[in-house]
Structure 1
Amino acid sequence: MNLKQSIEEIIKQPDYEPMSVSDFQDALGLNSADSFRDLIKVLVELEQTGLIERTKTDRYQRKETSKSNSKLIKGTLSQNKKGFAFLRPEDDEMEDIFIPPTKINRALDGDTVIVEIQKSRGEHKGKVEGEVKSIEKHSVTQVVGTYSEAKHFGFVIPDDKRIMQDIFIPKGQSLGAVDGHKVLVQITKYADGTDNPEGHISAILGHKNDPGVDILSIIYQHGIEIEFPDNVLKEAEDVPEEIEPSEIEGRRDLRDDLTITIDGADAKDLDDAIAVKKLKNGNTELTVSIADVSYYVKEDSALDQEAYDRATSVYLVDRVIPMIPHRLSNGICSLNPEVDRLTLSCRMEINARGEVVKHEIFDSVIHSNYRMTYDAVNKIITDQDPQVRAQYKELTPMLDLAQDLSNRLISMRRRRGEIDFDINEAKVLVNEEGIPTDVQMRERGEGERLIESFMLAANETVAEHFNKMEVPFIYRVHEQPKSERLRQFFDFITNFGIMIKGTGEDIHPTTLQNIQEEVEGRPEQMVISTMMLRSMQQAHYDDVNLGHFGLSAEYYTHFTSPIRRYPDLTVHRLIRKYLIENSMDKKELRHWEDTLPELAEHTSQRERRAIEAERDTDELKKAEYMIQHIGDEFEGIISSVANFGMFVELPNTIEGMVHIANMTDDYYHFDERQMALIGERQAKVFRIGDEVKVKVTHVDVDERMIDFQIVGMPLPKNDKSQRPARGKTIQAKTRGKSLDKAKDDNNNKGNKKKRKQRKGKNARKKDKQGKTNHKPFYKDKSVKKKSRRKKK
């Protein structure tokens, strides 16, 4: 029996379950490289003949029993702003299903829908696509957009471009809004047949050009609450500003230990403090003390319910929206210097190899001696600045010891396989009116790495402690990348001469770590790190310990930031119940077993919402910032390539697009495998990682899009640089000319161009019925060709 017959026999077994490549290897006893290649070849052949198909998790299932053959599939609609959508089936094993714009049938992004599987009849003939047959649950209940007023009614044009339908506002439901107002609309009736969704305006955010309204619109668009309810604020007001002596009783007193906080200069919610000592046995003692927020935010209180709903603080370019009121986050819970504060502490004894050999977790009281900044610490431990070291002479021995400990912890994590992506991050600076003034790179010096190392050590230690107790707990997990994505990444890096053996299944983090080490210092380092990051799964919260792939850690949780993350607050509660109060009875255990899965899912979703809002505000302000640089030239690196063009990232992380229509020196084809655009005549290649010089030609603030042109390539006629920058007017000056004047100049150019076209001899003329006798140039050309043939 040959290999193909053996595989067919396995697949045809009545109890056959989908198998991975490694499952087939084990079942058939295939160990050599040659047999592996033969196996892959046979599986591909069987897939092409229709006997099997590959699932999203890279397993092979019988096609006749495939769930995707079912006519109706339930899932979540994910809409693209270009009009089409994908169905994300409830069954994780199934692939996403493409839905063309004509078959979305008034469903909105995020809706739970029933989709019928069909064969495409258009340009993708023969491929599978779906059509929305019914909407089970609407996800969008409110919309942020711009109000447009008519005589007896109005419309709201959604800011979210994935919502393709304007919202109809009946007479008397506009709350007095006028043209150009940014508004919040509550949907009262969803689209039915040809009718648009209907709603009423519940809030007017301001005129679209008013300072701050742009950010406010994004906040409301993501459903983020800014103000705290009155009952929450009252509970916060009732919390005393100072600690009573009775509250310290029973806690371990650490007030005599030299303790410091290290944070950014503008941080106000200081939730972690450190103390480092050298022990007689040569080991180092690290104590990480975290604000005891759970002592003040009682379970099921109004404060707790609001914190759970928010789940995280949101950090935007011009403001912070806190998880708990500022009275707590910046007051009694903040580990400010020279005051007593209640904390939970994780004390670790760490050996020369950076391994935790002993630990304790307990409630405590501390008295922070110094509020240090990253800049000051970097001057002490990295720059060895004599003036700053003299200023903090009491601290320098502990900080030198802390740096040595941090280096040992970093080396330990590197040995076990941690992947340090070290992706460039930038901070957009804005003035009081919300106008961006600069985009600066975030520094990651020794001080930042030191605190990061200490917090990682504490998080791992707490997670391991509770995992070994075998009790309900919440973990921060990062699962192994899906093999298909890794295969694509491995394929991509072959363009840079890096070859990886294997299929991407059951890969160890050290493989990716080795790739990083190989490209360190090379021009393509940042691009390869970015592409590697894109191949990863997203970290999230879970009640099951699944490990942390990126850290190469068997156990991990979030313990160190209860002021700004609800999972950390939950971990503190569990520490109090399990270790301090010993109050976890069977009823309580069942409660947490039932509660934690939902809590993990909810907080993961809220985290993604916060990240999206932060990204949207960053992109908005970066686009605004680049208006003043229209016409300027920059060096950049190609960060992404597609069939419509390529994206170029500048050194300050701002990204813009070079559209393929503007690459005029050749006709370029997209090579997906190489992730490159290749010229047809000159064979010129633009690939990810290449350095290019670009010129800023156009900015669309509304779409948050920046257009670049390759320097030296002439723009085609009617190029985008002739259009004014779109979006709100920004009162700022650059090189002695206001942006308003620059926009007026662009507008005037565009108007002159239009007038000239209207006066041309080929201008379209309409008859009484409004029809035109104008023929497109390609039709005229085809007629001429036919007439030439007849003459011949």
Structure 2
Amino acid sequence: MNDKNEKLEAKVSLELNSLMKSSNISRKNKIVNIKRLENDTADISNSKNRRRKRKPKVKLLEATSPIKTINSSNVYDFSYNIFPVWNNKQYGQFFRKRSKTFKYIGLKTFLTLKKATYIFETRLESLSKILQNLTLNDSSTTKIAENKSPNKLRKLSESENHAKKVNKSIKVKHQKSSQETQTESPLKKRRYKFKKLKSKPEDSKKKVLEFPSKCTAEEAKIGEENGELLRGFLRVNPKNPDDSYVSNINSSLPDYRITSLADRNGALDGDEVLLKMKPETEKEDGKKAAVVVYILKKLHPCIAVGTLKLKNQGTYAEFVPRDKRIPVMRIPEVSWPVIYKTNPTACANILFLAKLVEWSKPYVAIGVIIDTIGMTGDLRVETQSILKEFCLDVSPFSAEMLEHLPKSKEISVEEVALREDVRKECVFTIDPLTARDLDDAVSVKELPNGHYEIGVHISDASYYLTEGTSLDEFVSSKATTIYLVDQVYHMLPLDLCLHCSLLPGEDKLAFSVFWEMNEEGEIFDSRFTRTVINSCAQLAYEHAQQMIDDPNKVFKDEKLPRILNGFTAKDLSKTVNILQKIAVNLREARMKNGSLRIDQVKLLFSLNPGTGEPEDFIVYENKEAHRLIEEFMLLANISVAKQISETYPDIAFLRCHEPPKNTMLLETQACLETCGIHIDISSSGSINSGIRKYITDDYQGICRGIVLNHIFAKPMTRARYFCSGTMEDFSHYALSVPIYTHFTSPIRRYADIMVHRLLAASLGYSHKPNWDMDFVTKIAANCNAQKLNAKRAGEASSDLYLAHYIENHQPYVQDCVVVEVRERSFDAIVLQTGSVVRIHLNTCQGKPSWILNSIPLPTPMSEKQGFKKVYKLTILYPKTKTYPEETKIIVEMFTIVKVELKRIPNSNKLEASLLRPIPSIIFKSLKN
């Protein structure tokens, strides 16, 4: 080995000597030109770009000794280490090592020995002695970075329009005075000169250090009036804060895209903003690029849950939110929690609640810590963090509020006299098995003309919740009951919930809707009235489903809940089946009218009573019994909406669902057509029938249905409450009805309380509410926000418990169906849980290779519309001892793959690794 090294040293020395002698050396100015040795046309900036894309693999020679050049008057004495790299010019052209000790100086100076490329490396102290001045054929200069940052030795000037490329020839000046070199710090007062080149457009991915200038309030008003500025609500990509959107008023056109954190201009997700369009040349994927110039309403609460870590040698703490849409915040020492001040490193896994107080620069946000939540991974702590993150108020009701609760459970004789008495009718509830808030009950009465009187009876909670009291105001602010996996946080005080709940055997006040209809679901008459009821049974969906499955089944007493008021299981079964026949016909008519149903997976967990950990879960099934109740609740909501809208056209509290973005539907349609799925998107009804056409009972058909439901849910807008006086179009897209509201759940939704008050006034039970449009709009906006937050909290709670369950049941292998193939990954839905996971190449078992092919979209306007690209992925697995044959799988939409799921540490999210499919040859060997 020593002989080999000596030969290599000798050859390299000869190359170096010839290099130095052949260089343009002058005794007068002692300039060494070490330009050389290959025909090199690429400049440094291009090399830097290549280096970002792919890091060269460097291999160190064994025990290579330092090599010295000939010490002459015009050649500086200088030590090199020589490293071989792959024989590829683009890797040899420009190297630098990110180290404080060593620095590559192979600026296009490399040797070719035995068809291998070598680069020079030297210590910084040696390099600095000869690099007193670095001249690049121009007068532009820049300061050398400090010694502690060697990566900035050749730092470009930060001034605008400075050169981004350097000249190919490098001239190194050697100072005559060696004494100066020894006494002065070699890295101080050094200036590099770069060749000035034509400026090029700024890289959109480069971090911008300042926000764009904002409009004044007056400028914003004028700009919006003359059409220069556009109004909208900001939507931030939860996985990429640099990617934001604002909906285009014209649904046939793509949304406006905001392509950087800086262009958000301090706006957060959900804020109402004014936009200014960028030039057409700056379009992104066919979408018009825009910048926020004014924030009309800051609707985001500016709080986040996250962790703390020290930064900048402890001068400040950095708060990293779990929600990537919120910027990383600098926390000043004055706001550090006591536990963090005493031992910062011990707080790495502690969750804190922070508030954003200032965001004056894109990457410099200032925040304060407002609460210490607890350790990550603890289920109770994580649940509290979910409630805080979504700004859900679960504080208890004060004693003063509870003073407004009813003093007695008894209903006065006077009140009963004012109501229709249906206590002797066969009225009962059908709810989930563990339900406590029993809002609704149903009844059926046969009429002499052969028709039926169908009754829906809703708890009259508004009767007990007096408007304008402190209790009413607090309930109004909460707006909804919060359902988490381990706990329910009621909108109303628990005593009032139980008082209003339609429990069997108890007299209860209700608001009832009656329809006269036949078995086909034709409605001949309807009426609304306040009633007093007494439920004869509390059925679960499971009980009602058994009655539907076998109408003639004889139930034993222990198989059903207790039945009261002289009724029997046979009476209940008869009523359920009459309701079922009518409900089926109502649903068919609704679907023919264009109703759309998109099903999402919902999980139900069983928890360990001692530890609270999830022991098992099931997927919630929407069976006929669920759809029976749903159909009559929809009918009640539609009927009440018509009543209050006709009576109070300006202040009716309604609910609408706007059509989806047409561009997103077109994009979805185009993507599906590449897989042979053709769905008409002209209406909600055509989408629904198209989806149902491709869902079959076999495994492939079930998977197809899961994908179709998922991808058509994305373009859909959120339904919302509104004041009738502020809008002209009241229609509900998914239900395909002209008017709709929420009436059937007043125990858990404040919107229903508002509707009950309007309905009572419309029937003469009370005075007209003293409301104006602004008041109703304000209540509607709060109900929308709280409903969304409660929904997201429920989903986050489900994700939390699922992550814990999977962590405790390793290895956890499941089938997934692919929904989208991307450039460097693909997304798939876990069939058993409904979770969407992203699978990357580096997480695939067996280290396969990926071959990506772009599939042309069939729509001619797809490129102009800015549709995303569709890909087909080929995954190749090499031969191994276990797998004697190569394996190839094609991954595209609807492909079924097998993955192993794990919980991401200190997170409630899942990561997935693709498992190699087992070929038939191995199955045969296993059988043998």
TM-score band w.r.t. shorter chain: 0.7 to 0.9
In structure 2, distance between residues paired with 1:68 and 1:400: 59
1:679 alignment partner, one of 859, 871, 874: 874
CA-to-partner distance for each residue in 1:226-258, whole Å, 9 max, x for gaps? 113415642355543332333323111111111
Give 1:305 shift: 1.2
Check conservation: 2:806, 2:812, Cα contact below 8 A: no
Residues 300 and 148 (structure 1 numbering): CA distance in 2 closer, same or farther, change over 3 Å?
Answer: farther
In structure 2, distance between residues paired with 1:251 and 1:600: 30
1:166 alignment partner, one of 329, 349, 359: 329
One-letter code aligned to 1:359: S
Q: Which moved more, 1:549-558 or 1:163-172?
A: 163-172
One-letter code aligned to 1:234: L
Q: Which moved more, 1:349-358 or 1:143-152?
A: 143-152
Normalized per residue, the structure richer in helix is 1
How many residue pairs get matched?
A: 639
Q: Which residue of 2 aligns with 1:356?
A: 523
Q: Which residue of 2 aligns with 1:572?
A: 756
One-letter code aligned to 1:574: L
Check conservation: 1:182, 1:206, Cα contact below 8 A: yes
CA-to-partner distance for each residue in 1:739-792, whole Å, 9 max, x for gaps? xxxxxxxxxxxxxxxxxxxxxxxxxxxxxxxxxxxxxxxxxxxxxxxxxxxxxx
1:407 alignment partner, one of 584, 587, 607: 584
Alignment partner of 1:535 is 2:727: no
2:535 alignment partner, one of 363, 368, 391: 368
CA-to-partner distance for each residue in 1:508-536, whole Å, 9 max, x for gaps? 43322331332131351232233233333
Alignment partner of 1:620 is 2:794: no
Q: Which residue of 2 aligns with 1:12?
A: none
Check conservation: 2:799, 2:909, Cα contact below 8 A: yes
2:240 alignment partner, one of 82, 100, 110: 82
Q: Which residue of 1 aligns with 2:257?
A: 97
Structure possessing the higher radius of gyration over alpha carbons: 2
2:685 alignment partner, one of 498, 510, 531: 510
In structure 1, distance between residues paired with 2:602 and 2:913: 21
Residues 669 and 698 (structure 1 numbering): CA distance in 2 closer, same or farther, change over 3 Å?
Answer: farther
CA-to-partner distance for each residue in 1:399-428, whole Å, 9 max, x for gaps? 222222222222322332322334433224
Q: Which residue of 2 aligns with 1:47?
A: none
1:438 alignment partner, one of 616, 636, 658: 616
One-letter code aligned to 1:711: R
Q: Which residue of 2 aligns with 1:217?
A: 385
CA-to-partner distance for each residue in 1:676-710, whole Å, 9 max, x for gaps? 42339999632222222223366355261321314
Residues 708 and 461 (structure 1 numbering): CA distance in 2 closer, same or farther, change over 3 Å?
Answer: same
In structure 1, distance between residues paired with 2:823 and 2:908: 20
Residues 349 and 473 (structure 1 numbering): CA distance in 2 closer, same or farther, change over 3 Å?
Answer: same
One-letter code aligned to 2:763: L
* Superposed counterparts of 1:192-591, under 5 Å: 196-201=365-370, 203-231=371-399, 233-235=401-403, 237=405, 239-329=407-497, 331-383=498-550, 385-388=553-556, 392-432=569-609, 433-469=611-647, 471=649, 472-499=651-678, 507-521=682-696, 522-523=701-702, 524-544=704-724, 546-581=730-765, 583-584=767-768, 588=769, 591=771
In structure 1, distance between residues paired with 2:615 and 2:260: 42
Q: Which residue of 1 aligns with 2:352?
A: 183
In structure 2, distance between residues paired with 1:67 and 1:660: 47
Give 1:312 shift: 1.4
Give 1:98 shift: 1.8
CA-to-partner distance for each residue in 1:374-420, whole Å, 9 max, x for gaps? 11221222145533588523422222222222222223223323223
One-letter code aligned to 1:401: I
The two structures, once aligned, show a CA RMSD in angstroms of 3.5
Give 1:273 shift: 0.8
Give 1:292 shift: 0.6
SS at match of 2:327: coil
Check conservation: 2:595, 2:734, Cα contact below 8 A: yes
In structure 1, distance between residues paired with 2:363 and 2:429: 60
**Unmatched runs of 5 consecutive residues or more in structure 1:** 1-65, 715-792
Residues 442 and 133 (structure 1 numbering): CA distance in 2 closer, same or farther, change over 3 Å?
Answer: same
In structure 2, distance between residues paired with 1:626 and 1:699: 11
SS at match of 2:373: strand
Residues 266 and 300 (structure 1 numbering): CA distance in 2 closer, same or farther, change over 3 Å?
Answer: same
Residues 191 and 209 (structure 1 numbering): CA distance in 2 closer, same or farther, change over 3 Å?
Answer: farther
Residues 115 and 393 (structure 1 numbering): CA distance in 2 closer, same or farther, change over 3 Å?
Answer: closer
Q: Which moved more, 1:386-395 or 1:636-645?
A: 386-395
In structure 2, distance between residues paired with 1:697 and 1:394: 51
Give 1:478 shift: 2.0
Alignment partner of 1:633 is 2:813: yes
TM-score by length of 1: 0.73
Give 1:484 shift: 2.0
Residues 473 and 258 (structure 1 numbering): CA distance in 2 closer, same or farther, change over 3 Å?
Answer: same
In structure 1, distance between residues paired with 2:285 and 2:757: 57
Residues 356 and 148 (structure 1 numbering): CA distance in 2 closer, same or farther, change over 3 Å?
Answer: same
Give 1:308 shift: 1.7
SS at match of 1:401: helix
Check conservation: 2:517, 2:525, Cα contact below 8 A: yes
SS at match of 2:411: coil
**Unmatched runs of 5 consecutive residues or more in structure 2:** 1-222, 561-568, 858-868, 877-886, 920-928
Q: Which residue of 2 aligns with 1:30?
A: none
TM-score by length of 2: 0.63
Give 1:208 shift: 2.7
In structure 2, distance between residues paired with 1:230 and 1:583: 29
In structure 2, distance between residues paired with 1:493 and 1:453: 31
SS at match of 1:345: strand
SS at match of 1:386: coil
Give 1:358 shift: 0.6
